Amino acid sequence: MSEEIFTTGSGNVFVDLGFSEEEAAELTIKSCLFTILQEAIGKALETSTQAQIAQRLGVDQPIISKIQNDRMSGFSVERIASYLLRLNYDISLAAHPAPAERSGRVIPAKHDRSIA
């Protein structure tokens, strides 16, 4: 009988995958914004085509397909944010001091998945 070994994660999948704390923080921010962008495009696709959304974002249609197919590489945080702004989304950021007993970290925001 094989023995299964489970390890408790750090709470940040990117750190667990071997990224530095700084890289993990950037990837957490990027992945949160990317998920919101995917949801925004999904909502827009209810009334528009990929080509129409691409035109609105100033990109070619394959970029929309890439986003919808979970291909986050090649997109910077700034680029993702600019797409959200072009889709008429507000972007909200907050920062505050971490408790004295731990260092600062990026905490993914909880957002309403039923985008209105």
pLDDT at 6: 75
> What pLDDT is attached to residue 1?
57
- Cβ(72)–Cβ(98) below 8 Å: no
What distance in Å separates the CA atoms of residue 94 and residue 76, rounded to the nearest whole number?
A: 20
User: How many residues comprise the chain?
Assistant: 116
**HSE value, Cβ hemisphere, 13 Å, CA-based, for 75:** 27
Contact 89, 36 (CB under 8 A): yes
Hey, is 33 helix, strand or coil? helix
Select the CATH number that applies to the domain covering 23-86 from these four: 1.10.10.10, 1.10.260.40, 1.10.150.310, 3.90.650.10. 1.10.260.40
Q: Give me the average pLDDT of each 10-residue run along the chain (116 residues).
A: 74 83 89 95 96 97 96 94 97 90 83 52
CA–CA gap between residue 28 and residue 13 (Å, rounded):
9
